[in-house]
Structure 1
Amino acid sequence: MELELTELTVRIKGRALVDRLSLRAGAGEVVGLVGPNGSGKSTALRCVYGALRPISGTVLAGGEDLRALPLRERARRVAALTQDGSVDLDFTVEEVVALGRAPHQRGTQALSVREQGLVRAAMRRLDLLALADRGVLTLSGGERQRVLVARALVQEPEIIVLDEPTNHLDIRHQIELLSLLRGTRATVLVVLHDLNLAAAACDRIGVLRGGALVAAGTPREVLTAELVADVFKVAARIVPHPETGGPQLLYTLNPSV
C-alpha cells in the first residue's frame, strides 16, 4: 500500500517541527528518514500513526486520508514501533506478541489456529522462541525491542513505521531486523541514525533538517560527501560496498566542516 505525506506541517509554540514535508513510499518500499537530532523525523512518524495531528497537510494510505479512518481500521493498516515503546506489565513474550492481533479481534476473543501460527512464526523470525514464556520485564532492552517488532508483524499491517528500531540491538540483530523489513510485503517508513544501515536497508532515503526535506532519492543519489558535510557537519568519504556496490560512509572527524 502506498504511503504519501503531502505538505505536512507541525508547529509547536510557533516553531515548525515539520515544515511542508512531502514524501512518498511506494507499495512494498522501505523508505528511510535520516537527519540530525531534532530535525523532525520522529514528529513526522507520529503524524503517520496518529499520535500527532498536523496543522496542515495530509497522510494518505492507499489514497485514503488516515485521519478519516476509524481507529480500529487505522490500527489494522498501520503498525508503529516508537522510540518509547514499552510494556509496563509483566506479560510473557508470547502474550505481548499476540497483542498484535488486537485490532482484528473483538473483546476477549481467543486466537484462531491461524493467528497462533502467526505469533509463533513472528517469534521464530525475531529469534524469540526460546524466550516465549519469559516475562518481558526480565528481558534486556534489545530482547524487548525484538518482542515489539514481532508484535508489529503479527498485526499484519500494510504499513509499518519504526522510530530507531535498531536501538539496543547488537549488530547481528540489527542486520537481521533490517533484512526482515526488506522481506516483508508491507510498506516501511523507518527512522535510522546509522547512515550505513540506511544505505544497506532502504530503497529510498529522505533527509530532514530543521523540519524540512532537503534531499530524497536512492541511497546512491542522496548520500554524498557534500550532503553529509552540509547536513550532519562531518566529513565522510563515500566508497562502494565490495559486495553490493551500494554507498558506504567512512567518517573523518573534521572540526572545519
Structure 2
Amino acid sequence: MDLRLDGLSVVTDGKSLVRDLSLEVESGRVVGLVGPNGSGKSTALRCVYRALRPSSGTVWVGERQLTDLPMRRSAQIVAAMTQDGAVDLDFTVEEVIALGRTPHLQGNQALSRRERELCERVMDRLDIRHLARRGVLTLSGGERQRVLLARALVQEPEILVLDEPTNHLDVRHQVELLSLLRDSGLTVLVVLHDLNLAAAACDRLGVLRDGRLVATGTPEDVLTTELVDEVFGVKASVVSHPLTGDPQLLYSLHSSL
C-alpha cells in the first residue's frame, strides 16, 4: 500500500515544526527521513501514526485519507515503533509482543493459535525467543528495541513507520534489523541518524532541515559532499561501498581538511 504525505504542515505554539512536506513512499519500498536534530522528522512520523494531527495537509494510505479511517482500521494498516514507545509496566516480553494484535481483537478476546504462532515466529526472527518470559524492565536498551519492533510486526501492518529503530542496538542487530526491513515487503518510512546505514537500507531518502524537505531521491543522488556540508555542517568524502556500491560517507574530525 502506498503512503503519501501531501503538503503536511505542523504548527505548535506559533512555531512551524513541519512546513509543506510532500513525500511519497511506494508500496513495498523503504524511504528514510534524515536531517539534523529538530528538523521535523519525528513530528512528520507522528502524523502518520495519528499521534499528532497536522495543522494542514493530508496523509494518504492507498487511495484514502488517513483521517477518514476509523482508528481501529488505521491501527491495522499502520504500525509504529517510536522513540517514546517505552513500556513502564513490567510485562513479560511475550505479553508486550502480543499487544501488537490488539487492533485485530474484540474486547478481551484471546489470541488464536495462528496469532500465538505468529508471535513466536517474529520472536525467532528478531532473536528474542529466549527472552519471552523475562520482564521488559529487566532488558537492555537494545533488547527492548527488538521487543518493540516485534510488537509492531505482529500487528501485520501494510505500512511500518520507525523512529530511529537502531538506537541502542549493537552492529550485528543494526544490520539484521535493516535487512529485515528491506526484505519485509512492507511500505516503510524510517527516521535514521546514521547516514551510512540510511544509504544501505533505503530505496530513497528525504532530507529535512528546519521542517522543510530540501532534497529527495536515491541515496546516490542525495548524499553528496555539498549537501552533507550544507545541511549537517560536516565535511565528508563520499565513496562507494566496495561490495554493494552504496554511497558511504567518510567524515573528517579536522575542520581544516
Q: Give the SS at the match of 2:185.
A: coil
Please tell me whether residue 61 in structure 1 is matched to residue 61 in structure 2.
Answer: yes
Aligned partners of 2:103, 2:235: CA distance in 1, in Å?
A: 46
Q: Give the SS at the match of 2:229.
A: helix
Aligned partners of 2:183, 2:97: CA distance in 1, in Å?
A: 19
- TM-fit CA distance, 1:254: 4.8
- One-letter amino acid matched to 2:77: R
| Contact 1:8-1:56 at 8 Å conserved across structures | yes
Q: Which residue of 1 aligns with 2:214?
A: 214
Instruction: Report 1:91-170 matches (<5 A).
Output: 91-170=91-170
Q: CA RMSD in A?
A: 1.0
- One-letter amino acid matched to 2:213: L
Q: Give the SS at the match of 1:205.
A: strand
Q: Give the SS at the match of 1:130.
A: helix
Aligned partners of 1:102, 1:242: CA distance in 2, in Å?
A: 44
Instruction: Report 1:179-194 matches (<5 A).
Output: 179-194=179-194
Q: Which residue of 1 aligns with 2:239?
A: 239
Of stretches 60-69 and 199-208 in structure 1, the one that deviates more from structure 2 is 60-69
| Contact 1:28-1:185 at 8 Å conserved across structures | yes
Instruction: Report 1:76-95 matches (<5 A).
Output: 76-95=76-95
Note the alpha carbon deviations across 1:67-106, whole angstroms, 9 max, x for none.
1111100100000111111111111111111111100001
- TM-fit CA distance, 1:255: 3.9
| Aligned-pair identity (%) | 70
- One-letter amino acid matched to 1:114: R
- TM-fit CA distance, 1:173: 0.6
- TM-fit CA distance, 1:34: 0.1
- One-letter amino acid matched to 2:163: D
Aligned partners of 1:238, 1:63: CA distance in 2, in Å?
A: 38
| Contact 1:45-1:161 at 8 Å conserved across structures | yes
| Contact 1:234-1:254 at 8 Å conserved across structures | no
TM-score between the two structures when normalised by the length of structure 2: 0.98
The count of residues paired between Structure 1 and Structure 2 equals 257
Q: Which residue of 2 aligns with 1:36?
A: 36
* CA separation of 1:169 and 1:242: change in aligned 2, threshold 3 A: same
- TM-fit CA distance, 1:256: 6.6
- One-letter amino acid matched to 1:199: A
Please tell me whether residue 175 in structure 1 is matched to residue 184 in structure 2.
Answer: no
- One-letter amino acid matched to 2:117: G
Note the alpha carbon deviations across 1:28-79, whole angstroms, 9 max, x for none.
0000000000000000000101111111100000021111111100100000
- TM-fit CA distance, 1:13: 2.0
- TM-fit CA distance, 1:119: 0.1
Aligned partners of 2:90, 2:143: CA distance in 1, in Å?
A: 14
Q: Which residue of 2 aligns with 1:47?
A: 47
Aligned partners of 2:96, 2:52: CA distance in 1, in Å?
A: 25
Q: Give the SS at the match of 2:220.
A: helix
- One-letter amino acid matched to 1:87: V
Aligned partners of 2:138, 2:93: CA distance in 1, in Å?
A: 10
Mark the runs of 5 or more structure 1 residues left unpaired by the alignment.
none
Aligned partners of 1:15, 1:140: CA distance in 2, in Å?
A: 36
- One-letter amino acid matched to 1:18: V
Aligned partners of 1:54, 1:109: CA distance in 2, in Å?
A: 34
